[in-house]
Chains A and B, each alone.
Chain A
Amino acid sequence: MDLGISALNYINSIKNGEFTVEEFTLKSLERISQVDEKLHAFLRVNDLAIKNAREIDTKIKSNQNVGKCYGMPISVKDNICIEGSKTTCASKVLENFIAPYTSTVISKLNSEDAIIIGKTNLDEFAMGLSTEFSAYGPSRNPWNTDYVPGGSSGGSGVSVSANECIASLGSDTGGSIRNPASFCSVVGLKPTYGLVSRYGLVSYANSIEQIGPMTKTVEDSAFLLNIISGIDSNDNTTVDNKNQDYLNNIDAGINGKKIGIVTEMTNPDGLSTDVLDATNDAIKTFEKLGANCEQISLEMVRYAVAAYYTITSTEAGSNLARYDNIRYGYEFDSSGFEFNSYISQARSKFGPEVIRRMILGGFVPSAGHAGKYFSKALKVKSKLIAEIKHVFEKFDYLISPTVPIQPFKFGEKINDPVSFMMVDFNTVTANLTGIPAISVPYKITNGLPIGIQIMANHEEEHSLLQAAYALEKTVDLPEVPA
């Protein structure tokens, strides 16, 4: 049994009776027990996975209606709620938090007979890009365990890359799906803002974050997007996609399409030569596929990281104000505390990165500084949206390396906040402007992955996935080391 098969091949194998859901689930759990002590993709594994698998097998055997997922094991980032189970956001502050309701994306997966095999590791409250800020220890890159897997959805990326599950759901605020997808050599899609319900996603910066799939193939991302997208009465930011089928004509190709190569993203400070070489190679590949590639400049991209961190820190400061250890929290004796000092002391259990972002989030929108930071950040965001709108009048896609560098070693960047922020340089634009973007595995250099980012206009996921599929079909990458 090949645990590395795609979601679509898994479904065919189940339909053809090559193995049962229980057999595959059991093998996946065995794989997790073999490798996860080292990789630490999972914070928890679902104790009921085998029971769920048997129930789906029974449905299949008795010719009952079976959901589209046919029991495929899917992991879920631990900031997405499942009723009755822990959702920790990789924080000590929520170490015993039991979610009181199920997120819309999980309800949709459950109704299609997916098996949620476990909850995956992340940087605390999704603030980070390496999982080094998880309160429960980092995840490790399966391509080389001395290196970070990316983040914040690092556990999700690792779980798919290391064949511990078929696919995963992550969340992307500034690249948190695409960055680990690039670092772990899997496909990662950040959908258009509003295409996927955020109901049940623990908020970090709710004006820009999105849930999206992380998968082994582009087709699998389209398959999962078909399931999780669409309007939701519990999230009034969602848009009606009229049940669009993203798998339909995914192999249509990109002949005659116009691609803009974002100049600012292909020569940022610190861009590695290996990543640049891979990007130039990908551009040639797109041209061979019949696309017309042209350099374009987006002036505001240069300011996007500063705008992104200003806006997200402000929203984080607001969103995390609710963790006062009164309505929910951890056991902490209140004896000897005055009311406010109890809350302040309880909140000191946040990890260092969350604390820093909350401080920044208190500072940049404050009366004395808002004009210098927050107001300008919002204006940069507005101008960037206008620039993006303008370029998509001429181009079908924009491309860049997903991340300007390859995976880095643990501890390499943790003490330099600016160099850390710059890792997000190419990904934050899609979040600030709300457009969809996907990372496609393109190359393995020096034993470590490089991903290519493709962006499209709002709600153009169908076309975006066609381009990603076309690129994916030109590459033949090695298997992840066992």
Chain B
Amino acid sequence: MKNLVNEEEISEVAKLMKINLEDHSDHVKRVQKMLEYFDILDDANVESEEIIVQETDLGKLRNDKYNQYDKNLLKFLKRYQEKYVKAPKLN
């Protein structure tokens, strides 16, 4: 299948993912190639398959109790001031 994705679409997804792209063409080519390969999923015949979640015995999970965290992580925030995270100053 050709033209699954075009520059405009890549540009839109890049915006969604908050990435500035200077040159879309290389990314378009690569993403296109990968998506063409992903078409193999159409042959998997899994439409009627149920999506299952890995099961773990309840007895093997941690106890459901609150553990006090003993370190003040906020002190590591470089731009932390009082109760707030300082964002960069913008014009």
| Chain A interface residues toward B at CB < 8 A | 98, 100-101, 193-194, 231-234, 236, 238-240, 300, 302-303, 305-307, 309-310, 317, 321, 324-328, 332, 334-345, 347-348, 350, 352, 355-356, 358-364, 366, 372-373, 375-383, 385-386, 416-418, 421, 434
Contacts and interface: CB of A to CB of B under 8 A. Distances in A.
Nearest to B86: A326
A240 B58 CA distance: 10
Given A327-B85, A360-B31, A236 B61 contact: yes
B71 A101 contact: yes
A132 B5 CA distance: 26
A100 B14 CA distance: 30
B91 A382 contact: no
A309 B40 CA distance: 12
A379 B44 contact: yes
Interface residues of B, number: 55
Q: Which 5 A-B pairs have the closest CB atoms?
A: A334-B88, A100-B76, A379-B46, A379-B49, A362-B13
Given A363-B13, A380-B46, A303 B90 contact: no
Nearest to A382: B52
Interface in B1-58: 5, 9-10, 13-22, 26-27, 30-31, 33-38, 40-44, 46-47, 49-52, 54, 56-57
Interface string B45-82: 01101111010110111110001000101001111000
Contacts of B26: 352
Contacts of B41: 303, 306-307, 310, 372-373, 376-377, 380
B83 interface: no
A309 B56 contact: no
Contacts of A332: 88
A362 to B, nearest CB: 4
Contacts of B21: 348, 355
Nearest to B28: A359
A359 B46 contact: no
B64 to A, nearest CB: 9
Contact of A359 (B17, B20, B38, B40): B17
B87 to A, nearest CB: 5
B77 A328 contact: yes
Contacts of B34: 309, 360, 417-418, 421
A337 B90 contact: yes
Contact of B20 (A324, A348, A383): A348
Contacts of B50: 379, 382
Q: Which of A98, A335, A355, A366 has the most CB of B within 10 A?
A: A355
A342 B85 CA distance: 16
Nearest to B72: A100
24 contacts: A100-B71, A100-B73, A236-B62, A239-B61, A303-B41, A303-B44, A306-B40, A306-B41, A310-B41, A324-B18, A334-B89, A334-B90, A338-B90, A340-B18, A358-B19, A359-B17, A360-B31, A363-B9, A366-B13, A379-B49, A380-B44, A383-B44, A385-B52, A418-B37
Contacts of A434: 54
B12 to A, nearest CB: 9
A297 to B, nearest CB: 14
A307 B41 CA distance: 7
A233 B71 contact: no
Contacts of A101: 71, 73
Contacts of A359: 10, 13-14, 17, 19, 27, 31
B38 A306 contact: yes
Nearest to A368: B9
B16 A362 contact: yes
A339 B49 contact: no
B88 A363 contact: no
A434 B71 CA distance: 32
Contacts of A307: 41
Contacts of B22: 348
B88 A342 contact: yes
A344 B20 contact: yes
B83 to A, nearest CB: 14
